[in-house]
Structure 1
């Protein structure tokens, strides 16, 4: 995790230099703003990774003598099947369509988004996936 933190911090230094150079050279506000926002995002991620690396044990990726198999194991729990992301995607697509076409479409997208979020959060509290 220390390596990723350093990578993002160095990336943010590079993006800051490019943002300053681009802003002075082009005098174009949209691209300059986007580069400064990219700098902010990169420095936030780098700081978080560097801060977290001090609190957790060293991982295999921090050891130069480690093998790929040293980090093997359980990655986490993932749902085997769920229809809720599809419902959320449809609701999100309609919400973005509402911005472009007309706000009245939001009346159709808001219920889809709310039902999708509710279903995804409480997916393991009902039905065949219910914990005993």
Structure 2
């Protein structure tokens, strides 16, 4: 993660230079503000990755002699058969259609969104006294 942190910090330096040049030459406030905000986001991500790299083990991407297979392994647990993303997608689509056609559609999208979020969060919850 060290290399990613450095990449984002160098990107932040580049965006800062571009923002200054763009602001001086164009005198356009919206684009200049957007570039300065992109600079801030790059600094935040780069600092986070650099800060986390000090606490994490050295990954294969930080070693110049590493192969692609050195970083293989388990990435985490992913639910193999969850229907909750479908409910969230349907509720989100209705919500965005509510922005276009009328805010009254939000009343129909809210139950789908709430059921999808609740179901996704508690999908594997078995209770405090039960074992798997």
Is structure 2 residue 82 aligned with structure 1 residue 98? no
Residue 46 of structure 1 corresponds to 46
Is structure 2 residue 34 aligned with structure 1 residue 34? yes
Q: Please, which runs of 5 or more residues in structure 1 have no aligned partner?
A: none
| C-alpha distance in 1 between matches for 2:30 and 2:52 | 33
| C-alpha distance in 2 between matches for 1:27 and 1:67 | 48
Q: Please, which runs of 5 or more residues in structure 2 have no aligned partner?
A: none
Alignment coverage as a number of residue pairs: 129
Relative to structure 1, is the Cα distance of residues 29 and 98 closer, same or farther in structure 2, using a 3 angstrom cutoff?
farther
More helix by share: 1
Alignment of 1:47-126 (within 5 A): 47-125=47-125
Residue 3 of structure 1 corresponds to 3
* Greater alpha carbon shift after TM alignment, 42-51 vs 74-83: 74-83
| C-alpha distance in 1 between matches for 2:41 and 2:15 | 10
What is the RMSD computed on CA atoms of the aligned residues? Answer: 1.8
Q: TM-score, normalised by structure 1?
A: 0.88
| C-alpha distance in 2 between matches for 1:90 and 1:28 | 39
